[in-house]
Amino acid sequence: MTDAELRAADGRVPGRRGRATRQRLLEQTAGMLRSTSYRDLKVVDIARGAGTSPATFYQYFPEVESAILVLAEEMSQAGSARLSGVVRDGNWKGRAAYDTALAVVEEVMAFWEDHRAVMRVVDLATDEGDQRFRKIRVALLNGLTNALAEVIEAATKAGRHPADLDPMATAGVLVSMLAHVAAHRYGFEFWGIRTDDLQRSMARILYTTVTGQKPPSGA
Amino acid sequence: MTDAELRAADGRVPGRRGRATRQRLLEQTAGMLRSTSYRDLKVVDIARGAGTSPATFYQYFPEVESAILVLAEEMSQAGSARLSGVVRDGNWKGRAAYDTALAVVEEVMAFWEDHRAVMRVVDLATDEGDQRFRKIRVALLNGLTNALAEVIEAATKAGRHPADLDPMATAGVLVSMLAHVAAHRYGFEFWGIRTDDLQRSMARILYTTVTGQKPPSGA
DNA sequence: CGTGGGTGCTGACGGGCCGTCAGCTGCGGG
DNA sequence: CCCGCAGCTGACGGCCCGTCAGCACCCACG
pLDDT in tens, B153-168: 999 999 999 999 999 9
- Computed from CA positions of residues B82, B84, B89, B93, in that sequence, does the dihedral angle turn out positive or negative? positive
Sign of CA dihedral B4, B5, B7, B10: positive
d(CA A23, CA A171): 37
Nearest CA in chain B to A160: B214
* Residue B100 near residue B216, CB atoms below 8 Å: no
Q: What is the mean pLDDT of chain A?
A: 93
Q: Which nucleotide is nearest to B58 (CA to C1')?
A: C19
Q: Do B198 and A169 touch (CB under 8 A)?
A: yes
CA torsion through residues A207, A208, A210, A211, sign: positive
Between the alpha carbon of residue A122 and those of residues A73, A75, A132, the distances in Å are 10, 11, 9
- Protein CA A15 to sugar C1' C7 (Å): 7
**Counting Cβ atoms within 10 Å, is residue B178 exposed (0-12), middle (13-18) or buried (19+)?**
buried
- Residues 6 or more apart whose Cβ sits within 8 Å of residue A210: A92, A97, A101, A148, A151, A152, A155, A174
Q: CA–CA separation, B89 vs B108, rounded Å? A: 15
Interface test with B, best of A144, A180, A210 (most B CBs within 10 A): A180
Q: Report residue B201: phi and psi, to 5°.
A: -60, -45
Q: Is B154 on the interface with A (CB under 8 A)?
A: no
Give the nearest nucleotide to B50, CA to C1': D8
Count of alpha carbons within 13 Å of B214, Cβ hemisphere only?
Answer: 12
pLDDT digits (tens, 9 = 90+) for A185-207: 999 999 999 999 999 999 999 99
One DSSP character per residue, B162-181 reads -TTS-HHHHHHHHHHHHHHH
Query: A152 to chain B nearest CA, in Å?
Result: 12
pLDDT over threshold 80, residue A219: no
Distance from CA of B97 to the nearest CA of A (A): 17
Asked whether strand D has any atom less than 7 Å from the CB of B11, the reply is: no
Contact A121, A133 (CB under 8 A): yes
In angstroms, rounded to a whole number, what is the distance separating the alpha carbons of residues A122 and A116?
10
Q: Say how far apart CA A65 and CA B132 lie, in whole Å.
A: 26
CB B187 within 8 A of CB B161: no
Helix (H, G, I), strand (E, B) or coil at A212: coil
Distances (CA, A) of A167 to A32, A94, A162, B21: 40, 20, 10, 52
Any strand D atom closer than 7 Å to A66 CB: no
What is the Cα–Cα distance from A138 to A176, expressed in whole angstroms? 11
Total Cβ atoms within 10 A of residue A61: 21
CB contact under 8 A, A172 and B129: no
Read off the pLDDT of residues A144-182 as tens digits, 9 standing for 90 and up.
Answer: 999 999 999 999 999 999 999 999 999 999 999 999 999
Which residues are CB-contacts of B16 (< 8 A; sequence separation ≥ 6)?
Answer: none
A128 in B contact zone (CB under 8 Å): yes
- With residues binned 3-state (H G I as helix, E B as strand, rest as coil), the percentages for chain B, rounded to 5, are 75, 0, 25
The amino acid at B211: T
Task: Provide the positions of strand C that have an atom within 7 A of a protein CB.
Answer: 6-12, 17-22, 28
What is the residue-averaged pLDDT of chain B? 93
Using the Cβ of A191 and the Cβ atoms of chain B, whether some distance falls under 8 Å is answered with yes
Minimal-distance CA residue of chain B relative to A191: B138
Q: Are B37 and B63 in contact (CB under 8 A)?
A: no
Q: Which amino acid is at B219?
A: A
* B154: Cβ contacts below 8 Å, ≥ 6 apart: B92
Residue A2: per-residue pLDDT: 38
Per-residue pLDDT of chain B (219 residues; tens, 9 = 90+): 434 456 666 666 777 787 899 999 999 999 999 999 989 999 999 999 999 999 999 999 999 999 999 999 999 999 999 999 999 999 999 899 999 999 999 999 999 999 999 999 999 999 988 999 999 999 999 999 999 999 999 999 999 999 999 999 999 999 999 999 999 999 999 999 999 999 999 999 999 999 999 998 776
How far apart (Å, rounded) are the C-alpha atoms in residues B210 and A179? 21
Q: Report the largest interatomic distance among the alpha carbons of chain A, rounded to a whole angstrom.
A: 64
Nearest Cβ partner for A184 among B165, B176, B192: B176
The CA-based angle B1-B182-B213, given to 5 degrees, is: 110
